[in-house]
Every structure is written in structure tokens, then in C-alpha cells.
Structure 1
Amino acid sequence: MPLTTIISFAFFVVLMTGLSWFLTRKHQLKTAADVFLGSRSLNWIVIGGALIMTNISANQFIGENESVFINNMSIMSWGVTSVFAMLLVSEFLMPIYLRIGAVTTPDFLGVRYDSGTKKIVTVIFLLSYLVNLIPAVLYGGAVAINGIFHLNEVLHISYWSAIWLLACVIGITGFLYNVLGGLKVISISDTLLGAGMIVGGLLLPYFGFKYLGHGDAEAGLLTVLGSHTDHLNAIGSAKDAVPFSTIFTGMLLVNIYYWGMEQFIVQQALGSVSLEQSQKGIALACLCKLLSPLMLNIPGLIAVHLYLHPQATAEIFPRMAADVLPPAYTGLIAAVVFGAALSTFNAGLNSVGTLFTMNLYKPFMIARKGHVSDRELIVRTRLFQVGVMLSGIIIAPFIMFFKGGFYNYIQMLAGFFSIPIFTIMVVGMATRYVPPIAAKAGLIFFLTANVVLQLVLNTGIHYLHLLAMTFVVTALLMLLIGKIKPMAIPYQPAAVPVVPVKPWKNRHWYSAALLLLMVLLFIIFSPLGLAK
């Protein structure tokens, strides 16, 4: 490993950490709002950067490039179509959250149904983060960093030991970020990382094409466009990892849930200074999602021509970064990947603390003692986060033994936890008479049906289609219960906004432009474009 790469990596990590500290040095963590919502002081640039970097972790760098290498560009659908979901969230869900002064997304369920539903969903969120989000982020970051620096070879230790060691480093560093800065320092750091990712997104494909073309980037580009054109197709068939039809069924539901109801994502936008700033920040994140294939997918296309028989397809991205980039730039990419892993881990850990403290511990203590101080809330949050961090470090290395592959592990578990919550939230937003018992029955039915359809029966139907079908059946079940036993007093949303909720005046023009760019990307990577 060249010394220049190590120095470059250390320089960029210290630079981003130092700038984050400098820009937030006057921010005090005295109240729960300071820790969990950055004192509701985030502007649109910070929100956009935080959303995109919380979303893009080392998991995407590894998993999506691996999928492109093995299959084709159909994996691009997850990120590109999320633009449509994000715009729906911006237009319809964010006004609801900010009007009721929500701190967590289950807060809406507490207002719409009852405190019992809110607590059940909070527990589901926490389980999802414990077994899926936190371990997967640590594992993905560890694999990426080890792939770039070959730590197991440098230290003469086993691959397992290297992954475990790096998971410890990422976990402990992320925890310290939370302790020292809360959501605001995390969001500022994410904004700086977003700028680094854009630079890296331009550098890696360029040097990849140049490396493939033996010093001529244009020749490398022509090689990618002229052979293995089946890999250029984003219109997935039924046999591909992401069939195109799933865009209109389960994928749409998962994306709306992820961007509009997933606590560690939505919390970035809930910390906004106003609805207008929140909507502008989401639009900025949409633009970044349309640029993200430069780093998440194009390297996988180039790798198809560079590595005929790789030992481990999960290391395609870090191997590309190490092979094609000059040492100084490799350090930058390593810093971005390390920061991306930290970013998602930080957001997840902050959200875990928010959910546990505000939705479980605080109500329990108020019922028991009548009050609880902000200081006690912060202390209990830190103790709970330590436990979550340690459990994630323990679980992370075992993901390598999952037979379906790393990316499949993430998506399958995410579907189990996400769409049941999505279902009761959508029905709650769309109706006024469906009672709390319907929400609880819907959760139990959906979770049971998921286990039977995906783990017990071999239906042969793509899991995203199964999620969509179960969503429809569960929603109908809830509506039927609402018809038989409606609420005596219909739900009336109470507006208690703590920030201005006037929407962004020009949002529709920007939304139209973003949707047009989304469609153009699919045309470019299709048999009508580059894949003909």
C-alpha cells in the first residue's frame, strides 16, 4: 500500500472532521432537541447533504457495483426511482410531520391511532436497526476499507479478524461523533462528504476508463460501450436481480417507506428550520441520487472488462479504487467510503437513541415519576447506544456467511420490517375512522404473511411483488375492520407546528425537471439507448 494513499486518506478524514467541528463548535447539547434534531436549525444544503450521505453507505458502493458486475444496470432502479418517492414525501408527508411537531415518525401513529401502536412500531424499528441496519453498515464499511487497504495482508491476520477490527473502528468512531455533536455535527459532516462523493464520482469512472484504455479514457469508454452491452441494460427481465416490473409494485412501496417513514432518514428532514428548507433539501438529494450511478454503478460496468474471474465479487468496488486511481485519489475515495459508512451508522445510532428515549423511556418515566430531565434522557440515550453499537459489532462479521449475498441480506430483511409499518401509516393518513385495533391486526397479519410467503412457501414470485400483494390485502383487512368497528370519534389532525410550514413556491417546476431526468436515465440505459 503506497504511503501517499495512507497520508491522503488521513488528511481527508482529519479535514472533514475538523471542518465539521469548526462549523458546529458553538452548538451545545443541552436538550433532547439539540441531540436528536440539531435544534431544528438545519438549512436546505445541510439537509440535502445529510439525506444523500445517510442513504449512500459503503453497502451501496459494494452491493450495487457487485450487482452490476454479476447482472446488469437494473440495480440502478433502486436509486433512480427513489426520486419519485422522495418528491411524494416532500409534497405530502413532510407537511404532516412538521404540522404535528413530530420528533419521530411513529409520533404520527401515536396521534392517529394510540400510544400502544406507537410503542409497537417503535419496537419494530429498533429490531430492524439491531439486526439489519447497524450490522450491515459496519460490515459493508469494513469490507470496503479492507478491500482498499488490504488490512488483513498488512497486519498478517485473517479476513474475519480484519472485518471485525474495522467494524470496531467504524462503530466506536461513529459513537464518538454522536456523543460530541448529535444530529447537527453529523449533518454538517454529511454535507462535506457529499461534496467529496461528487468529486470521487467523477474521478473514479474517468480513471477507470483511462486504465481500461491503457492511458486513453476515450478508448476505455468505447470498449465499455462496444462489448458486453447486455450489462448496460437497466430494464431488468424476470430473471434479473431487479425486474423492471417491480418498479411499479414493491419497490415503489419500499422507496416511499424508506424516504418518508424510515426514522434514520426522515430525522434529517425533521431537523429543518422550515418546511420550505426541508423541501429544497429533498430536491437537492434527488439531484444527487441521479448523479450517484457514477460511483455506485459505472465502476461495476468497467470492472466487467477488467476482472474476468474475481475471487470475491463483493470486493469489485474497492479493488477498482485501489487499481485504477493514483494513490492520492485512492485516499480520497477511501475517506469518502469510510465517511459514508460513518454517516449511515451515525444516523442509525442517533435514530435508535431517539426512538428508545422519546417513545419508550420518556413515557415510562413520566408515568412512573411524573417528570424526567433532559440530562437523564441524554444519559440513557448514550447507554442504550453503547449496547446497540456492541451488538452491531458482534453481528457484523457473520453477514459474510449469508447464502443469498450481502445486498440480498439487506433488502430481504428491510422488506420484512418496512412495509408493515408503511401499510398502517398509509391507511392512517388516508382514513379517519379506521381504529387502533385495525393497525395492530394489520401489523400481526403482515408480519405473519411475510414469514409464510417468503420463508415457508416457495411461490416463485419475486419478493417485491409479494410485498405489494400483501400490502393490498392488509390494507383491505384494515379497511374492513374500520367498516365493522369504526372509531367513535373520527381522527382530526391537530396542528402544533414548531417551525414555519409554508411550502416551497417553485417546487413543482423542480420536481418536473427531476422526473424528466429520471426517465432519461432509463432511456439511456435501455435497448433504446446504450444497450441496443
Structure 2
Amino acid sequence: MKTLETKDYIVFLVYFLIIAAYGFWVYRRKKTANASSKDYFLAEGSLTWWAIGASLIASNISAEQFIGMSGSGFKLGLAIATYEWMAAATLMIVAIFFIPVYLKNKIYTMPQFLNQRYNSTVSMIMAVFWLLLYVVVNLTSILYLGALAINSISGISLNLCMFALAIFAVVITLGGMKVIGYTDVIQVFFLILGGLVTTYLALNMVATHYGTSGVLNGFSFLTEKAGEHFHMVFKKDNPNYMDLPGLTVLIGGMWIVNLNYWGCNQYITQRALGADLKTARSGILFAAFLKMLMPVIVVLPGIAAYLLYREGAFQTEMLQGGEVNPDRAYPVLLNLLPAGLKGLSFAALTAAVVASLAGKANSIATIFTLDIYKKVININANEKKLVWIGKATVIIAMLLAIVIAPNLGIDKKGGFQYIQEYTGFVSPGIFAMFILGFFWKRTTSNAALFATIGGFALSVFFKLLPTFADLSFLASTGFSKDNGTGVFEIPFLDRMGFVFIICVVSMYIISMIESRKTEVVEEWVEDEEIPVYADDIIAAETTTARKVKKAKGLEVDTSMFKTSPGFAVGALIICGLLVALYTVFW
């Protein structure tokens, strides 16, 4: 039944008041008369480790996880959890290798990194690209899918849901990263509590269906009766192999998906860029532990709905347009919750959507203000002006999302797999540009430009390749599979892997060709341990007298990657859990 009762509205109102009151208290308590732009956008030095970790998860988990990943659980099974569990492993790599580089070099935005490492052309191209991606794709998707999910639970008008979510998110975002970070802690509490309630209901329903009760019995029946839904690595004959192609989820494209998302994404890394290294690493470790828990909340309910549907339940509720729509699994379960608990789950879903909207809007404002407005439009803007521009950007971006979202056909395209595949058109090139920029000092700006533009072009090429070439010869290797119409397509995760390798090799060749023209000069800037190269040297008229400017590059040394004993223990626990889970559910 698509309605909320009085108890549900009371629970939701309590959630709203707690968030609003706490956010206002944080804003008043931490407000300074002359807050800088970095303080507003990054909450520089203000977020604790638990606030950073909670904010990372709150920003990451949204409607596409609750609705889309539960739908994938219904269709694919536990294998879809690889996105969550491999993310936990990825977060360890980001904490150890990526974050120290950002913090040591005082990187506050991803375009700033590209400008400092490469040049302003690469930086500006990517700044504009990220703005378009965040506004037209991400912000609109989160807003529309969130409103659609809330509409399916409450029966409230879709347009009203969109406006309400947008207003709620804007109120939080205007308080800056401090308010976002600390309110995300409460958002995550509601998100996890409400999610666990739904999982409890789903597992208990399974147990009840087989004449018993309790979540453990429900889980036991789930693994027994739907055993085919508890394999993490698909074989080539699995009908869902195209979505998750075998070992690629462990040693292939899944790493590119996660490393690009968690390590090269303004939306995510922004949470840690205002902290010191120890705090940032502790926050990321906390986020990794929360990531381990997420499949319990977003995947198990989908598998439970699958088993119950197969046993004769939800026969009409799961249909859309006469066909089964897996993305309806989570809303169907929520509509079965009793009054009060339904309000709690409703609050959890709202918390996930609002936190993601707020985080995305803040990232849009940060990139536009610091990387475009400050550098191109008004280079003399003071700190107060920059903060004002940031707030105005938040409002404009949200209004654009409200106008654009209904016209993109997101509900028809939707689903977690779709979002992942089409994000994958740009991920390989961007990740190649970042990873070589981090750890190979010879990488040139032209090589980075190739990865940016060429990576996207290659992704499109591999996507269209099956339409004019027979790829059946790759079927035996698992790198192609019949899509049901006689056309052999390359699984999108493998496609990402191919594009990444080509980008890295091409960047290496381009950089080596250019480096031969400019011989490396092994000198060091006085009082700064930064290597200087020949193209950074301004020669005087005589060969003996010359001036040196600061090298175009990053300050990187191996001591940056050392971790504390506490972090090392936490990381080992994460790795141990992952090995155990993949061993049990292989």
C-alpha cells in the first residue's frame, strides 16, 4: 500500500527535526566571522575521523544502491556485492597511497591536481567535464531516482518529492562541508538502522514462508533454496556474465571502477582533503568497515524478494508494463513494513538521497568556484565573494537538476548496472591520467590529454565494435558473449580494462617520445625536495648563469606511505574478512 500512516509521519518528522537542529547547531558553533573558502568547501581541520567515514558512506549510498542494487540482488544475487566489498579493499589503497599525495601537495580539488601536475588546459577541460557530469548525470539521477523511490513508498506526488528532497539538500549544503560532514553521521545512523529493519523483515518473511521464524533461519533457507544466488564469481555460462564477467571482479575492471570512484573523484575525496593524514586515514578505514556491512542492507533484501517471488509472492507488485522489474524489489518490501517501522525505513531512504545530493552539490560548487570562477571569471575575488558564489552555485545546480531530471528517461534506463556501465566510458582514461601522474614523473601533459579524450573515444569504439565485427572468437576466453541476438559483445568491465591498458601504454609512448626532446636534468630546487626537469629551467644568456623555477610535478616520497600500527591492523582485518567472504561464497 503506497501510503504512510500517522506513526510514519511522526517518525519521519523526528528524523527531519534532528537533522535540521543538529545541522543548525554545528553551523552556529563552528561559524567564524571571516570563514575562508577552503573552510566552507572543505571544513579544513574541522571534521573528525568518524565524521569523515560517515560522510563518505552517506555520500556514496543513495537511491541507486537501495533500489538499484537490491534490484540487482533480485536478478544477479550476492555477486553484485562485489561493488561494495571490493570498494572496502580499494579504500585501503586510497588511504595508503592516494590521500598522502593529495595532502602533502595541498590538493583541494581534482582540477587543481591536474593543473599542478600537468597544465591549465588539462585542468580546465576536466573541470568543465566534471561539472557537466555531476549536474546532468549524477545530480539529476540521484534526485529523480530518490524521488521515484519515495513516491513508490509514500504515494506522494513525484514532483513534490523532487522539490522536497532538493530543498532539504540545499538547506544542509548551504551550511558548508562542516554541516554536511557532521549531519552525515546522523544520516548514516538512520540509513543503517532503517536498512537493517528492512533486511530483518525480508529474512523473517522467508523464515515464516517455510513455517518457522527468525532472521538466522531465514538466511539459512535463503542460502539453501536460492543457492544459485550466492555465488560471487560467475562462470561463462551464467546468463548474467555480461554484468559481472568472472574473475574480472577480482583482478580486472572492477579495480578501475573503484579506484577511479574512491581515489580520483572530487565528490568523494573532498571529505578527506581538509583533514590531517592520520584523521583522513582513520576516517577512510571506518568507511571501509561500513562498506563491508552494506550488502546486508542493500543486497540481501533483493535476494529475499527473489525467493519469495519465485515461491508465489509479489506476483503483481513486481510487474511493470507486464514484465518483472527487479528494481521494484526494495519498494515492495518497504510497503509491507508495519506503521512506524515504515516511517523509519522511509527516513533511511530519504537520508541516503539527501546526503548524496548535498555532497554532490557541494562538489559542484567547489569545482565551479575554485577552479573556474576564481581562475577565469574573477581572479581577484575575495574569500567572502567565493563563499557567496559557492552558495549560489548550489541553488542553481539543484534548480537545473529539477528541470532536467524528468526529461532524461532515467526511470526507463535506470538500474545500478546501467549507471556503472556508462560511468565506465570515462573512468579508464581518467584513472590512467591520475595514476601515472601520481607515480611516474615523466608523464606529460599531452599524454594526459590523450587519456582524457582518447579514453572516451576508445570506450565508444569498443562499445560499437560488435556491430561491425564478429567477436565470437573471443567467447572461449570469456571476453565476449552472445547477447541473445547472435551478436557477441564485450562485457563492460572487460571493456574498461582494455581501454585502461591502451591508455597507459599510449601515455607511456607519448611521454617517452616527448622526454627525448627534453633531457631530464637531475637538479633540485634549493630548500625544496622537488625534482626539476629541463623544461622547467629558464636558461640565462650564459651557460653558467641560470634561474630555476619550481618544478611542475608533485612532491612524493616513500615515507609518505607508511601507516600507523592501528591502521595496519584495521586494514588486515578488512583483507581477512574479504578473503573469508569470497572463499565461502565463491
TM-score by length of 2: 0.82
**Equivalent position of 2:401 in the other structure:** 392
C-alpha distance in structure 1 between counterparts of 2:19 and 2:145, whole Å = 21
Match of 1:38 among 43, 49, 53: 43
Question: Which secondary structure does the structure 1 equivalent of 2:564 belong to?
Answer: coil
**Equivalent position of 1:94 in the other structure:** 99
Q: Does 1:105 align with 2:107?
A: no
Deviation at 1:457, TM superposition (A): 4.3
Residue 286 of structure 1 aligns with an amino acid whose one-letter code is: A
**Equivalent position of 1:421 in the other structure:** 430
Match of 2:231 among 227, 230, 233: 233
Q: Does 1:143 align with 2:158?
A: no
Residue 581 of structure 2 aligns with an amino acid whose one-letter code is: L
Question: Which secondary structure does the structure 2 equivalent of 1:327 belong to?
Answer: coil
Residue 510 of structure 1 aligns with an amino acid whose one-letter code is: G
Contact 2:96 2:562 in 1 (8 A): no
Structure 2 matches for 1:301-380, cutoff 5 A? 301-308=303-310, 309=315, 310-311=318-319, 312-323=325-336, 325-365=337-377, 371-380=380-389
Match of 2:286 among 278, 284, 288: 284
Residue 351 of structure 2 aligns with an amino acid whose one-letter code is: G
Deviation at 1:365, TM superposition (A): 4.0
- Please identify, of 91-100 and 136-145, the stretch whose mean Cα deviation from structure 2 is larger: 136-145
Residue 408 of structure 1 aligns with an amino acid whose one-letter code is: Q
Deviation at 1:28, TM superposition (A): 1.9
- Please identify, of 83-92 and 27-36, the stretch whose mean Cα deviation from structure 2 is larger: 27-36
- Please identify, of 438-447 and 238-247, the stretch whose mean Cα deviation from structure 2 is larger: 238-247
Contact 1:167 1:396 in 2 (8 A): no
User: Could you say which structure has the greater relative contact order, defined with CA pairs below 8 angstroms and 6 or more residues apart?
Assistant: 1
**Equivalent position of 1:75 in the other structure:** 80
Task: Specify every segment of 5 or more residues in structure 2 that has no aligned partner in the other structure, as ranges.
Answer: 320-324, 472-488, 520-531, 534-550
Deviation at 1:13, TM superposition (A): 2.1
**Equivalent position of 1:480 in the other structure:** 509
Residue 226 of structure 1 aligns with an amino acid whose one-letter code is: E
Match of 1:467 among 493, 496, 516: 496
Contact 1:47 1:281 in 2 (8 A): yes
Paired positions, count: 507
Residue 380 of structure 1 aligns with an amino acid whose one-letter code is: I
Residue 518 of structure 1 aligns with an amino acid whose one-letter code is: L
Task: Specify every segment of 5 or more residues in structure 1 that has no aligned partner in the other structure, as ranges.
Answer: 152-161, 527-532
Question: Which secondary structure does the structure 1 equivalent of 2:232 belong to?
Answer: coil
Residue 499 of structure 2 aligns with an amino acid whose one-letter code is: T
Task: Name the CA shift for 1:34/1:175 in 2 (closer, same or farther; >3 Å).
Answer: same
Match of 1:164 among 155, 159, 162: 159
Deviation at 1:494, TM superposition (A): 5.5
C-alpha distance in structure 2 between counterparts of 1:455 and 1:35, whole Å = 44
C-alpha distance in structure 1 between counterparts of 2:387 and 2:349, whole Å = 29
Q: Does 1:51 align with 2:80?
A: no
Task: Name the CA shift for 1:127/1:455 in 2 (closer, same or farther; >3 Å).
Answer: farther
Larger radius of gyration: 2
C-alpha distance in structure 2 between counterparts of 1:333 and 1:140, whole Å = 16
Counting aligned pairs with the same residue, the percent is 28
Structure 2 matches for 1:256-271, cutoff 5 A? 256-271=259-274
**Equivalent position of 2:301 in the other structure:** 299
Deviation at 1:194, TM superposition (A): 1.7
**Equivalent position of 2:255 in the other structure:** 252
Contact 2:253 2:494 in 1 (8 A): yes
Contact 1:83 1:514 in 2 (8 A): yes
Deviation at 1:302, TM superposition (A): 1.2
**Equivalent position of 2:200 in the other structure:** 206
Question: Which secondary structure does the structure 2 equivalent of 1:170 belong to?
Answer: helix
C-alpha distance in structure 2 between counterparts of 1:455 and 1:13, whole Å = 47
Deviation at 1:22, TM superposition (A): 2.3
Task: Name the CA shift for 1:471/1:501 in 2 (closer, same or farther; >3 Å).
Answer: closer
Contact 2:47 2:182 in 1 (8 A): no
**Equivalent position of 1:26 in the other structure:** 29
Question: Which secondary structure does the structure 1 equivalent of 2:29 belong to?
Answer: coil
Match of 2:20 among 17, 22, 32: 17
Deviation at 1:333, TM superposition (A): 1.3
TM-score by length of 1: 0.90
Deviation at 1:469, TM superposition (A): 0.8
Deviation at 1:398, TM superposition (A): 4.0
**Equivalent position of 2:213 in the other structure:** 216
Residue 230 of structure 2 aligns with an amino acid whose one-letter code is: L
Task: Name the CA shift for 1:124/1:401 in 2 (closer, same or farther; >3 Å).
Answer: closer
Q: CA RMSD in A?
A: 2.2
Deviation at 1:131, TM superposition (A): 2.4
Residue 28 of structure 1 aligns with an amino acid whose one-letter code is: K
